[in-house]
Chain A
Amino acid sequence: MPSLPIGHRVRARRKGLGITQTALAKTLGISVSYVNLIEHDKRSIGGALLNRVAGALGLEPGALDGAQERRVLDELSEIAASVADGTDGPGPESARDLLARHEPWARVLLSLHRAGMRDQGTISALSNRFNQDPLLDASVSDMLASATAIHSVADIFADAPDMEGDQRARFDAILKEEATRLSDVAQTLARAFEGGQADVSGLSAPEEVDDFLYRRSNHFPALEAVAEGLELGDMPDAAALAAYLEDRHGIALRPLPLDAMPRASLFEGQGRTLDVVQGAAPATLRFELARAIAVLEGADAIRAEIADAPELGSAAGRERAARALAAYMAAAIVLPYAPFHEAAEALRYDIDALAMRFGASAEQLCHRFTTLRRPGAEGVPFAMLRANAAGYLTKRFPLPRLPMPRHGGACPLWAVYSAMQTPDLRVARIAEFPNGERFFMLARATRPLASAHGQTRPTYALMLACEIVHADRLVYSDGLDLGGAGRADPVGPTCLLCPRTACTHRQEASIRTKAG
């Protein structure tokens, strides 16, 4: 391994302090030519002399250990590899030369590379987002229907030149009608984008993470495997998890009153204590312990998931994703896949019964439901969302045909909002969308206890939704008529995209023309 080129830093620092090579040589008790050789990386120095150079330049001992340079060199070779086209690219030696002789240019190259990576992430995230946007989703369905009809009829024309007059006239009419519909959809889209609907300024970190989870169906086999490999058993209780942390990692619990908790209370793996809220609910405590274990034992697996994710373009997005995956793995620890999936199916997703059996909170269970996508042992495919009292969606996990708005609220007729009026009661509804599709929606609003008198108790509602075809697997659908003749609430996606013009709950005009 060639020595790391630190000469440029010695030179820059010396010049910055206004010291001559001669003066530095004198301080160090070495020759001027030797200083010159060091500054041009012709001599590699270490140990005592290196520390003396650092001291003479007013730097911390160890400041010249080359760690910074190593990072730059690593990144330069990454750049060289990423543009390798089979021909001889720049080798490690030339990266070292570049850094030794033209350090500012090396940094320019790094910033350009990072900017490129970030842009690539944004582009990829935006394209994913287009795949999920409700307006685009609806428009694409319309366009596909038109395209299908036009394509098919055009083929028929090409194939059957001897078609009878009547039939030909009918197909002519179809072509005209579908062409009009296609242009209507195109205009709708154009209007939407002119109106500034499309935010192309880049995605926020939460959106990046939403895309990341959605694209992987919120299922991470590698994390499940790590959780299962810990051999903590089917239902590890708080004591077992605390003992595990203590034995394996020497980490002790430190219960603190809520108002004494550090602001950033999330355990990041540093330090030998884990701060937990005194008197926290058992399910919360258990989850926090499992999260700490996930942070410590799942770090590599989590890093690997994030490293390969084109959706996570920003550092903030990657950090948020790491936290989300740690929580994912915590859930995999306290609600291990196989026994949990089996119990969920057997108890027909009865949240109270599962809460009793696994000592988990309703929100933890609902989250875990959305991750049950293991091939061969799939649970019901659920969408999940959480709304606050102002109607904003504060958590969202969509399903392919149940798109959820990214900003603001959904249709006010969704069960998640009706549940707000009857806190603690579960609301089970069949919702019918304008295209005739029906979803089963199950929601409950809760008001977590305030920790002190005078504090506001925020109400929020959590909702699960699944396609009606799966509803009979849920205990909550008992007694409801799930057939086509059964009662269903006529709902929409959001007002903006809803063609129900007569709806009395409409908040804003629809931009969707009724096509077809």
Chain B
Amino acid sequence: MDKKHSGGRKAVTKRVLIAEDERNIAESLRFLLTRAGHEVGLAVDGTQALAMVRRRRPDALVLDLMLPGLSGFEVLKELRADAETRTLPILMLTAKGQATDRQTAEDLGVDAFVTKPFANDEVIATVARLLDGGGRE
């Protein structure tokens, strides 16, 4: 429990964007991250995720790999190519721990990688870690 609530610094609420097309998974992630004290946004496809990041840069992005429109890889690539978002902490979710997926994600500059089905604690703790060490603001 401690871990979950110590993620965001109490003084400043952190913004986390979730890009996930499986709405039930998204709903559960939203609940968990909100409860951990973050302000949470939700995108249901890759294009929307990019648009939302550009409109208002979040402090971290939880990015599913298998998104309609633009895949998680493409979103990641676009964000890393843009000076504004080059250092945005990104946690990628994938359905399988395929070695090539992990390799591609790492090559494209992902900060963390969690495979489904995930333990809630793992996602919350990883987001907390990224917000503590990965953010620039």
A residues in contact (CB < 8 Å) with B: 140-141, 144-145, 147-149, 151-153, 155-156, 159-160, 167, 170-171, 174, 177-178, 217, 378, 381, 399-401, 435-438, 467-469, 483-485, 516
Q: Tell me whether B104 and A141 are in contact (CB under 8 A).
A: no
Chain B's interface size range is 35 or more
* In the complex, chain A residues whose CB is within 8 Å of the CB of B35: 160
Instruction: Looking at the assembled complex, report how far the CB atom of A399 sits from the nearest CB atom of chain B, in whole angstroms.
Output: 7
Instruction: Looking at the assembled complex, report how far the CB atom of A222 sits from the nearest CB atom of chain B, in whole angstroms.
Output: 19
Instruction: Looking at the assembled complex, report how far the CB atom of B65 sits from the nearest CB atom of chain A, in whole angstroms.
Output: 9
- For residue B77, CB closer than 8 A to chain A, the reply is yes
* In the complex, chain B residues whose CB is within 8 Å of the CB of A400: 96, 98, 100-101
Per-position binary interface string of chain B over residues 32-52, scored 1 when its CB falls under 8 Å from any chain A CB and 0 otherwise: 100100000000011100000
Query: In the docked arrangement, what's the CA distance between A148 and B116, Å?
Result: 6
Known interface pairs A152-B118, A381-B100; A144-B67 also in contact (CB < 8 Å): no
Q: Tell me whether B24 and A149 are in contact (CB under 8 A).
A: yes
Q: Tell me whether A141 and B95 are in contact (CB under 8 A).
A: yes
Question: Smallest CB-CB separation from A155: which chain B residue?
Answer: B120
- For residue B132, CB closer than 8 A to chain A, the reply is no
Tally of A-B residue pairs with Cβ under 8 A?
99
Known interface pairs A400-B100, A469-B71, A516-B22; A144-B116 also in contact (CB < 8 Å): yes
* In the complex, chain A residues whose CB is within 8 Å of the CB of B112: none
Q: Tell me whether A155 and B119 are in contact (CB under 8 A).
A: yes
Q: Tell me whether B73 and A152 are in contact (CB under 8 A).
A: no
* In the complex, chain B residues whose CB is within 8 Å of the CB of A149: 22, 24-25, 28
Contact partner of A435 (CB less than 8 A), chosen from B47, B68, B100, B107, is: B68
* In the complex, chain B residues whose CB is within 8 Å of the CB of A174: 24, 27-28
* In the complex, chain A residues whose CB is within 8 Å of the CB of B22: 145, 148-149, 516
Known interface pairs A144-B116, A144-B117, A469-B77; A437-B31 also in contact (CB < 8 Å): no
Contact partner of B28 (CB less than 8 A), chosen from A140, A153, A467, A483, is: A153
Known interface pairs A141-B95, A381-B100, A467-B71; A436-B21 also in contact (CB < 8 Å): yes
Contact partner of A144 (CB less than 8 A), chosen from B32, B77, B96, is: B96
Instruction: Looking at the assembled complex, report how far the CB atom of B79 sits from the nearest CB atom of chain A, in whole angstroms.
Output: 12
Contact partner of B32 (CB less than 8 A), chosen from A152, A178, A378, is: A152
Contact partner of A152 (CB less than 8 A), chosen from B28, B96, B98, B101, is: B28
Known interface pairs A145-B22, A469-B77; A484-B69 also in contact (CB < 8 Å): yes
Known interface pairs A152-B32, A381-B100, A435-B68; A145-B46 also in contact (CB < 8 Å): no
